[in-house]
C-alpha cells in the first residue's frame, strides 16, 4: 500500500491498520472540515467508520464540509456508502457538503443514489415488542384466521349445494386423478405404517398381558385399537402429509400463477372446480384405505401375537373375531370418511388462501399438513366424546 497518505500534523487521522483505505480529517480554518480519502476502497475491508467524523462535526464550530480525494487508487461502493453517510450527517446538521473533488466517480455515485427521492409511504411501521401489543396482534391474527376458515367452509357448503342441485362444474378427470393419487398410489406407505402400528400394539400388549397370563387378549387389544382408532387416524395423518400437502401445493401454485383468477373471470367457481373433486375424492377413498389399513394392521398384530406368544394363528383369529363387532368398523369407517374430507378441506383451503409467491406456496403446504393433522385430532376427540355419550 504505497499510496497511503501520511496524516497531517494539525488534523486527526483515522486509519485502518493493515487495510488499504485512508481517511484523513483536517480542520481548515473558517469552520470548514476537510475529509481526504485515499488508498484502496474495497468491500472486502468492510465499511469505513464515520464515528470520528461525527465527533469532529459535533465538537467544532463547523459550517461546511469538503471531501476530496488524494492518491485514491481504487474505490467501489464502500466509498459511495461512506459519502452517503457523510451526506446524511451533514443533512442532520444542515451543513454544506462539497464532494466535487472526489475522484473515482464517487461524487457521481452519490448524486445517483440521492437523485430519486424516497418513495413516500414505503416506511413500514415496525412491530411493537410490548407484550400487550403482541397479545393483541396475535389475537387479531387468530380471529382473522378463524374468519378465513369460516368463509372457506361457507363457500364449500354453497358449492356442495350446487353439487346436489347438479350445477357444480368440475372435470370428472380431476376426481379420477384424486382417487388414483389417494388410493392406489398411497397403498405402499399405508401398508408399512399400518403393519408396523399393528405390530407395535401387539408387542406392547403382549409384554403387559403375559404377566397376568392373559396373552390371548392381545388379539382383542390389537383388533379394537386398530378398527376403532389407529387405522383411521394413522391413514388420516399419512394422507394429510402426502395428499393434503399435494393439494395445497397444487392449488397454491395455481393461485400464484393467476390460474385461479383465470377461472374466476371465466365465471367458474374455483371451489367447484378445484376443491369439490378433491374433497369428494378423498372422502370416498379414505374409507377404502381404512379397510385396507385394518386388514394390514390386524395381520401385523397377528404376526407378532403368534410369534411372541404361543398362540396359533387360528386361535388369534378367532379371538379377534370374537372381540370385534360390525359397529367397531362402522365407527372406524365414519371416522375415516370425516378425516378424508377434513384433510382435503385443509389442503385446499391453504392452497386457495395462498399468497402470490413461491415462498407462500411452501408456507401453504406446511400449513396444510399442520391444519390437516389438527383437524383429525380435534374431530377424533369429538368422536370419542360422542361415542361415550351414545354408549358405543
* Residue 262 touches another protein, criterion: CB under 8 A: yes
Return the H-helix or E-strand segment holding 89. helix 77-93
The yes or no reply on residue 266 touching another protein (CB under 8 A) is yes
Q: Which of 273, 249, 247 is nearest to 260 (CA)?
A: 273
Q: Is 60 in the site for another protein (CB under 8 A)?
A: no
267 is a contact residue toward another protein (CB under 8 A): yes
- What are the backbone angles phi and psi of residue 219, rounded to the nearest 5°? -60, -40
> Which of 214, 261, 374, 384 is close enough to bind another protein by CB under 8 A?
261
What are 176's three cell numbers?
379420477
In angstroms, the CA 86 to CA 67 distance is: 9
| Residue 121 near another protein by CB under 8 A | yes
Beta carbon nearer to another protein, 113 or 291: 113
| Residue 360, C-beta contacts closer than 8 angstroms, at least 6 positions apart | 252, 256, 354
3 state SS of 21: strand
Write out the three cell numbers for 225.
Answer: 385399537
Q: How far is the CB of 267 from another protein (least distance, A)?
A: 4
Q: What's the rounded Cα separation, in Å, for the pair 185 and 45?
A: 56
- Binding segment for another protein (CB under 8 A), chosen from 10-18, 113-121, 142-150, 298-306, is 113-121
Residue 358 within binding range of another protein, rule CB under 8 A? no
Kindly indicate which of the ranges 114-122, 210-218, 291-299, 364-372 contains the residues binding another protein, using the contact rule CB under 8 A. 114-122
Task: List strand residue ranges (DSSP E) for the chain, in order.
Answer: 12-15, 21-28, 32-41, 64-75, 96-101
Contact between 101 and another protein per CB under 8 A: no
Closer CB to another protein, 56 or 263, in the complex: 263
Q: Residue 101 Cβ, how far from another protein at the closest point, in Å?
A: 17
Which one of the spans 26-34, 68-76, 129-137, 251-259 is the region binding another protein (CB under 8 A)? 251-259
Q: Which of 88, 133, 180, 258 binds another protein (CB under 8 A)?
A: 258
Residues 316-355 that bind another protein (CB under 8 A): none
Site for another protein in 155-184 (CB under 8 A): 169, 174
- For position 213 contacting another protein by CB under 8 A, the verdict is no
49 DSSP assignment: P
Whether the CB-CB separation of 331 and 391 falls below 8 Å is answered with: no
Identify the three-state secondary structure at position 3: coil
In this structure, are residues 355 and 254 in contact, taking their beta carbons and an 8 Å threshold? no
The Cα diameter of the chain in Å comes to 108
**Quick one: cell of 387?**
361415542
Residue 112 interacts with another protein (CB under 8 A): yes or no: yes
Cell triple for residue 48?
A: 469505513
**Residue among 43, 111, 187, 358 that touches another protein (CB under 8 A):** 111
First to last CA, the chain: 88
- Pairing status of strand 96-101 against strand 12-15: unpaired
Among 44, 115, 359, 389, binds another protein (CB under 8 A): 115
Does residue 264 interact with another protein by CB under 8 A? yes
Among the listed residues 257, 325, 327, 366, the single contact to another protein using CB under 8 A = 257
Residue 254 near another protein by CB under 8 A: yes
Q: Given the rule CB under 8 A, which residues bind another protein? A: 108, 111-112, 115, 119, 121, 169, 174, 250, 253-254, 257-259, 261-268
Amino acid at each position: 500500500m504505497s499510496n497511503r497518505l501520511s496524516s497531517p500534523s494539525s488534523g486527526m487521522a483515522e486509519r485502518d491498520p493493515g487495510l488499504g483505505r485512508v481517511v484523513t480529517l483536517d480542520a481548515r480554518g473558517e469552520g470548514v472540515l476537510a475529509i481526504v480519502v485515499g488508498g484502496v476502497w474495497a468491500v472486502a475491508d468492510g465499511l469505513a467508520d464515520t464515528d470520528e467524523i461525527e465527533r469532529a462535526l459535533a465538537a467544532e464550530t463547523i459550517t461546511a464540509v469538503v471531501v476530496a480525494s488524494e492518491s485514491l487508487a481504487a474505490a467501489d461502493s464502500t466509498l459511495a456508502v461512506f459519502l452517503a453517510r457523510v451526506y446524511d450527517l451533514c443533512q442532520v446538521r444542515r451543513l454544506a457538503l462539497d464532494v466535487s473533488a472526489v475522484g473515482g466517480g464517487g461524487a457521481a455515485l452519490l448524486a445517483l443514489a440521492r437523485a430519486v427521492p424516497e418513495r413516500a409511504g414505503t416506511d413500514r411501521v415496525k412491530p411493537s415488542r410490548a407484550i400487550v401489543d403482541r397479545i393483541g396482534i396475535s389475537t387479531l391474527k387468530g380471529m382473522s384466521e378463524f374468519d378465513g376458515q369460516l368463509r372457506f367452509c361457507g363457500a364449500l357448503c354453497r358449492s356442495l349445494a350446487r353439487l346436489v342441485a347438479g350445477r357444480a362444474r368440475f372435470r370428472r378427470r380431476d376426481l379420477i386423478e384424486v382417487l388414483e393419487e389417494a388410493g392406489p398410489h398411497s397403498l405402499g406407505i399405508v401398508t408399512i405404517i399400518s403393519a408396523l402400528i399393528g405390530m407395535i400394539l401387539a408387542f406392547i400388549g403382549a409384554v403387559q398381558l403375559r404377566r397376568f397370563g392373559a396373552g390371548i387378549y392381545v388379539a382383542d387389544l390389537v383388533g379394537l385399537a386398530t378398527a376403532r382408532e389407529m387405522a383411521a387416524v394413522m391413514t388420516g395423518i399419512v394422507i394429510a402429509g402426502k395428499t393434503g400437502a399435494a393439494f395445497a401445493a397444487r392449488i397454491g401454485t395455481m393461485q400464484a400463477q393467476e390460474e385461479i383468477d383465470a377461472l374466476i373471470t371465466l365465471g367458474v367457481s374455483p371451489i367447484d372446480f378445484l376443491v369439490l373433486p378433491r374433497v369428494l375424492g378423498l372422502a370416498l377413498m379414505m374409507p377404502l384405505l381404512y379397510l385396507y389399513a385394518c386388514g394390514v394392521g390386524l395381520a401385523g398384530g397377528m404376526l407378532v401375537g403368534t410369534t411372541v406368544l404361543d398362540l396359533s394363528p387360528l386361535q388369534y383369529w378367532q379371538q379377534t373375531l370374537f372381540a370385534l363387532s360390525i359397529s367397531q368398523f362402522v365407527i372406524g369407517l365414519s371416522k375415516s370418511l370425516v378425516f378424508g374430507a377434513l384433510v382435503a378441506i385443509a389442503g385446499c383451503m391453504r392452497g386457495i388462501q395462498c399468497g402470490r409467491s413461491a415462498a407462500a406456496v411452501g408456507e401453504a403446504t406446511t400449513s396444510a399438513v399442520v391444519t390437516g393433522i389438527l383437524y383429525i385430532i380435534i374431530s377424533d376427540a369429538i368422536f370419542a366424546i360422542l361415542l361415550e355419550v351414545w354408549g358405543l
